[in-house]
């Protein structure tokens, strides 16, 4: 069984703070340097599931760094280097406390709300007569608040974000512009690989110099939903589920087993077979979206491997 990375506790030189998110662990060092380690943890409905997924951290980190390099000409980002398959090193940023969610299609959370009769999401009107996975006439931005640990992210409108002072009107205009530009680039890149970028989320922060930059992940299966383009129209006409590559299948498995992150619900048991199937789906998406063969890193001593690679890189800074 491949070893998974569920937790880290590195003592990098100049360490000032450690932030542990649902999946990533961020080490803030002196000189405004941040080391972000992508673990193999997996979350759904804002809950960390009990078992890690082999190679998931490597996959997320390598897709994110690949996509940041491919979009740096249109949106600046925080990334400096990736000294290890599970690690990104970048500039320290103060994150905006909103996630910029953009949807090209009526899927996932938007589709679930639509089926409940809702026709407005985050202040954006969704037209009548749509069926699940139909395309919107143009992508819609439906932001969410970044929740504190143990809390759920919440839908919020652009107007509320500005009125509550979460983001200034001036900064929000930049976030909105960057979000649309990134989604357009991601859509084009997916199309080249025979995929449809259905929806995704972006997170942004400000550097110490005041520049707004893209942070965290981009176009990964944790932050995005992809359909296979081949057969999309036929499946819509016959009202059959779309063939997709995303974390949605994990959410659907949880729903089918009686869990949606609600109070009193218990996370179902994850069998070894299920865990392996999730890992295989992540590898499949990596290879489809990047067009590269996934090379599994040595996980026998994953913590020491990461520590050695990061320490060697930091010595060169």
For residue 125 the two structure tokens come to: 């009107």
Residue 151, pLDDT > 90, answer: no
Tell me, yes or no, whether 146 lies in a domain.
yes
What's the CATH code of the domain at 237? 3.30.470.20
Tell me, yes or no, whether 140 lies in a domain.
yes
Per-residue pLDDT of 251-275, as tens digits, reads 889 999 999 989 999 999 999 999 9
Q: What is the pLDDT of residue 152?
A: 59
Tell me, yes or no, whether 129 lies in a domain.
yes
Q: What is the pLDDT of residue 205?
A: 97
Tell me, yes or no, whether 260 lies in a domain.
no
Identify any residues that bridge with 44 across adjacent strands, giving them in sequence order. Answer: 47
Q: How far apart are CA 272 and CA 269, in angstroms?
A: 10
Residue 42, pLDDT > 80, answer: yes
Tell me, yes or no, whether 261 lies in a domain.
no
Q: Phi/psi at 229 (nearest 5 deg)?
A: -70, -40
> CB under 8 Å to 277, separation ≥6 — which residues?
none
Q: Phi/psi at 82 (nearest 5 deg)?
A: -130, 85
Number of domains in the chain: 1
In the chain, what percentage of residues exceed pLDDT 90? 87
Phi-psi map region of 123: left, alpha, beta (phi>0 left; psi -120 to 50 alpha) = left
Tell me, yes or no, whether 152 lies in a domain.
yes
Tell me, yes or no, whether 216 lies in a domain.
yes
For 109, other C-beta atoms within 10 Å of its C-beta total 17
273: exposed, middle or buried (C-beta count within 10 Å: 0-12, 13-18, 19+)? Answer: exposed
Per-residue pLDDT of 285-298, as tens digits, reads 899 889 999 999 99
> CB under 8 Å to 28, separation ≥6 — which residues?
15, 16, 17, 18, 19, 34, 92
Residue 149, pLDDT > 60, answer: no
Per-residue pLDDT of 191-203, as tens digits, reads 999 999 999 999 9
Per-residue pLDDT of 228-254, as tens digits, reads 999 999 999 999 999 887 787 898 899
CA distances from 311 to 11, 19, 128, 314 (A): 10, 19, 56, 5
Range of the domain at 152: 95-249
CB 81 within 8 A of CB 304: no
Q: What is the pLDDT of residue 221?
A: 83
When pLDDT is cut at 50, 70 and 90, the band that residue 206 belongs to is very high
Tell me, yes or no, whether 303 lies in a domain.
no
Mean pLDDT over the full length of the chain: 94
């Amino acid at each position: 069984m491949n070893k998974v990375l569920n937790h880290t506790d590195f003592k990098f030189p100049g360490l000032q703070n450690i932030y542990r998110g649902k999946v990533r662990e961020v080490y803030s060092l002196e000189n405004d340097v941040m080391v972000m380690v992508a673990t193999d943890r997996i979350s759904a409905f804002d809950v960390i599931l009990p078992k890690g997924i082999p190679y998931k951290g490597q996959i997320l980190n390598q897709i994110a760094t690949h996509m940041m390099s491919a979009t740096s000409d249109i949106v600046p980002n925080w990334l400096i280097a990736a000294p290890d398959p599970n690690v990104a090193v970048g500039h320290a940023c103060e994150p905006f406390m909103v996630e910029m969610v953009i949807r090209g299609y009526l899927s996932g959370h938007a589709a679930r709300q639509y089926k409940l009769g809702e026709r407005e999401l985050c202040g954006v009107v969704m037209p009548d007569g749509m069926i699940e996975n139909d395309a919107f006439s143009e992508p819609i931005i439906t932001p969410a608040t970044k929740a504190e640990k143990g809390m759920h992210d919440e839908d919020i409108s652009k107007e509320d974000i500005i009125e509550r002072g979460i983001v200034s009107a001036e900064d929000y205009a930049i976030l909105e512009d960057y979000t649309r530009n990134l989604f357009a680039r991601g859509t084009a890149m997916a199309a080249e690989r025979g995929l449809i970028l259905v929806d995704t989320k972006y997170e942004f922060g400000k550097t110490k110099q005041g520049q707004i930059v893209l942070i965290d992940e981009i176009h990964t299966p944790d932050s995005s939903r992809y359909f296979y383009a081949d057969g999309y129209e036929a499946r819509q006409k016959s009202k059959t589920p779309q063939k997709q590559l995303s974390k949605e299948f994990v959410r659907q498995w949880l729903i089918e087993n009686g869990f949606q992150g609600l109070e009193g619900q218990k996370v179902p048991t994850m069998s070894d077979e299920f865990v392996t199937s999730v890992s295989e789906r992540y590898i499949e998406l990596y290879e489809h979206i990047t067009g590269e063969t996934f090379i599994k890193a040595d996980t026998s001593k994953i913590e020491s491997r990461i520590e050695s690679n990061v320490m060697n890189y930091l010595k060169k800074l």
